[in-house]
């Protein structure tokens, strides 16, 4: 049974970057305003995320790594109004099946923090009885440390990309989240390396300022903003597209739906072809999209930890976004 769990968990947590994305989303859900990511060996040795969010009480820490343990779904109304995809309580459980997980957490008014180590979903160190989180010094917020990812899955471990590629994938996710979440200050750094932080975002910046910080001024000053809305379907959004005459060496596509970084290949493809109608041959566009829709229109059959999404009204969405982009590129043409 344990092996079955591990195989299932390995399908959820496919890489260090996939694990990082889940941890980052938990910190965002906990309303953190500061999120610091530390990585050793591309996250395979150590993946650590420190936040100043609302923390977990010790009784919640007991359960945190058990399957379907979630604090984000209390009533049916919650299900209707929930704004995050992460309501299934599977991420920490899955990570703890394929790595050693340690959590230190403190809720704002507590006198101290608590710490617990997990293996296979359970708090480690139970001497016959039930193990409990141990009191320790700390500050409000949560630190999750994931060590030796895939230690018990040798084939997955060796199939993983090399450390620097994996680090790039992690840094890329942190960068993208730092663009969307302007009120959160993010850092991302390689631990045990004195070169400082590779990513430093500032609090209370605009999306455009964050893009400038991450991608440079040259791109930022070529971006055109647009908005769209589909009447009656509860879909609305805004975005930025690079001027058709500005040539990028490769396409960048950043899509947030209901605050989560996702992929939607059909939209990516449609935007590429819209862009090519206006731009010189072989040129690539930059697309940033922030879309909101009713949660019930998202396809629940797609696993929450998979980035590719599906939803009702996909065709209408593609039509609406591409025509907004097309209008904007048209008017900007010189």
Using CB under 6 A, list all residues that contact ligand ADP.
22, 26-27, 30, 51, 53-56, 60, 64, 69-72, 86-93, 142
User: Are 226 and 218 in contact, with CB atoms under 8 Å apart?
Assistant: no
CB of 169 to Mg ion, least distance (A): 19
> Structure tokens of 225?
């903003």
Q: Where are the alpha helices (DSSP H) in the chain?
A: 2-12, 16-29, 58-63, 76-81, 91-98, 154-159, 163-180, 207-215, 217-220, 265-278, 314-332
Binding letters toward Mg ion, positions 204-233, x by CB under 5 A: ------------------------------
Which CB atom, from 26 or from 201, has the smaller least distance to Mg ion?
26
Pick the piece of the chain touching Mg ion (CB under 5 A) from 81-89, 220-228, 231-239, 294-302.
81-89
CB of 54 to Mg ion, least distance (A): 14
String of DSSP letters for 194-220: TT-EEEE--TT--HHHHHHHHH-HHHH
Residue 53 interacting with Mg ion (CB under 5 A): no
Which CB atom, from 30 or from 240, has the smaller least distance to ligand ADP?
30
User: Are 34 and 188 in contact, with CB atoms under 8 Å apart?
Assistant: no
With tokens 């977990």, the residue in question is: 56
CB of 5 to Mg ion, least distance (A): 18
CB of 89 to Mg ion, least distance (A): 7
Q: What are phi and psi of 221, to 5 degrees?
A: -80, -5
With tokens 């805004």, the residue in question is: 238
Which CB atom, from 69 or from 110, has the smaller least distance to ligand ADP?
69
89: partner contacted, choices ligand ADP, Mg ion, none (Cβ within 5-8 A by kind): ligand ADP
Binding letters toward Mg ion, positions 86-125, x by CB under 5 A: x----x----------------------------------
187: partner contacted, choices ligand ADP, Mg ion, none (Cβ within 5-8 A by kind): none
**Distance from chain centroid for Cα 321:** 23
Q: What angle do CA 179, 23, 153 make, to 5 degrees?
A: 125
With tokens 């790595």, the residue in question is: 99
166: partner contacted, choices Mg ion, ligand ADP, none (Cβ within 5-8 A by kind): none
- Beta bridge pairs of residue 224: 241
142: partner contacted, choices ligand ADP, Mg ion, none (Cβ within 5-8 A by kind): ligand ADP
Decide: helix, strand or coil at residue 323. helix
CB of 281 to ligand ADP, least distance (A): 45
What are the b/e assignments for 164-202, b being 16+ CB within 10 Å? Answer: eebbebbbbbbbbbbbbbbebbbbbbbeeeeeeebbebe
72: partner contacted, choices Mg ion, ligand ADP, none (Cβ within 5-8 A by kind): ligand ADP
Contacting Mg ion within 22-51 (CB under 5 A): 26
| Residues at the contact surface with Mg ion, assessed by CB under 5 A | 26, 86, 91
């Amino acid at each position: 049974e344990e092996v079955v769990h591990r195989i299932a968990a390995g399908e959820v947590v496919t890489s260090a970057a996939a694990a990082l994305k889940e941890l980052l989303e938990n910190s965002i859900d906990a309303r953190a305003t500061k999120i610091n990511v530390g990585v050793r060996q591309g996250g395979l040795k150590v993946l650590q995320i420190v936040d100043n969010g609302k923390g977990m009480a010790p009784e919640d820490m007991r359960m945190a790594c058990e399957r379907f343990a979630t604090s984000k779904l209390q009533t049916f109304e919650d299900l209707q109004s929930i704004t995050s995809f992460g309501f299934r309580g599977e991420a920490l459980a899955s990570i703890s099946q394929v790595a050693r997980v340690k959590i230190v957490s403190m809720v704002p008014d507590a006198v101290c923090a608590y710490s617990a180590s997990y293996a296979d979903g359970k708090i480690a160190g139970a001497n016959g009885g039930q193990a409990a989180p141990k009191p320790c010094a700390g500050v409000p917020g949560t630190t999750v440390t994931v060590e030796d990812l895939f230690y018990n899955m040798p084939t997955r471990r060796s199939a993983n990309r090399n450390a620097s590629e994996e680090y790039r994938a992690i840094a890329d996710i942190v960068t993208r989240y730092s663009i969307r979440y302007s009120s959160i200050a993010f850092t991302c750094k390689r631990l045990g390396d004195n070169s400082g932080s590779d990513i430093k975002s500032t609090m209370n910046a605009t999306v455009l300022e964050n893009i400038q910080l991450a991608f440079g001024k040259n791109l930022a000053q070529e971006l055109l903003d647009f908005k769209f809305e589909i009447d009656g379907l509860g879909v609305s959004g805004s975005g930025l597209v690079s001027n058709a005459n500005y040539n990028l060496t490769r396409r960048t596509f950043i899509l947030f739906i209901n605050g989560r970084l996702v992929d939607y290949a059909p939209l990516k493809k449609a935007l590429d072809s819209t862009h090519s109608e206006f731009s010189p041959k072989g040129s690539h566009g930059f697309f940033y999209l922030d879309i909101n829709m009713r949660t019930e229109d998202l396809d629940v059959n797609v696993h929450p930890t998979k980035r590719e999404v599906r939803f009702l009204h996909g065709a209408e969405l593609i039509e609406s976004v591409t025509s907004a982009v097309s209008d904007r590129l048209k008017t900007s043409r010189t």
